[in-house]
Structure 1
Amino acid sequence: MIESKVQKAIAEQFGLGDAPVNLDAPLSEYAADSLDLVELVMTIEDELDIEIPDDAFDALTIDTKPATITGRQLVEIATKFKG
C-alpha cells in the first residue's frame, strides 16, 4: 500500500502517466532536481497523511532510491505521527 502510493506520487511528479515506476532506481533517473524532491516529499506527505521530519528529509537527495523512503523508515515515520 505504501509503495503504491509512493509510486503514484512519483508518476504524478514526473509526468510518467501509467509507465512503471522503479522504486530501486535513483530519483535522478527521472531528471529530478532539488525542487522536485521537495515537491515529491510534500506529495508523499499529503498522500499518506503524514509529516516527514526535517532530519529525515535532509537525508534525501536526488540519488536517493525511492525504495529507501518506503518500507520500515516510512512506516516508522507514519506511526510516530499517527500515534
Structure 2
Amino acid sequence: MIETAVQKAIALQFGLGDASVNLDAPLSEYDADSLDLVELVMTIEDELDIEIPDDEFGDITLGTKLAGLTGRKLVEIATKFKG
C-alpha cells in the first residue's frame, strides 16, 4: 500500500501517467528539484492523511527512502492511537 501510494504520487508529480515508477531510481532521474520534492511530499501527506516535517525529508533522494519515511509516519500514528 505505501509503495503504491508513493509510486502514484511520483507518477503524478512528474507527469509519468500510468508508467511504472521504479522506487529504487533516484528522484533526480525525473529532474526533481527541491520544490518538486516539497510538492511530492505534500501529495503523499494529503493522500495518506499524515504529516512529514520538512527536516525529515530534506535528504530524500530515492523513492524507497520516501516510502520508508512514509511508513514510519504511519506507524507513529498507529502507535499513538493504540497508546
TM-score of the superposition, structure 1-length normalised? 0.84
Which residue of structure 1 lines up, in the alignment, with residue 73 of structure 2?
A: 77
Which residue of structure 1 lines up, in the alignment, with residue 64 of structure 2?
A: 67
The answer to which structure, 1 or 2, has the higher relative contact order (CA under 8 A, 6+ apart) is: 1
Cα RMSD over matched residues?
1.4
Q: Which has the larger radius of gyration?
A: 2
Paired residues, number: 79
Please identify runs of 4+ aligned residues in structure 1 that moved more than 4 A: none
CA deviation map 1:22-77 (0-9, x unaligned): 100010101111110110010011111110123212232xxx11111213x32221
Amino acid at match of 1:24: D
In structure 2, the CA distance between the partners of 1:81 and 1:55, relative to structure 1 (3 Å rule), is: farther
In the alignment, structure 2 segments of 5+ residues that lack a partner are none
Q: Distance in 2 between matches of 1:32 and 1:43?
A: 15
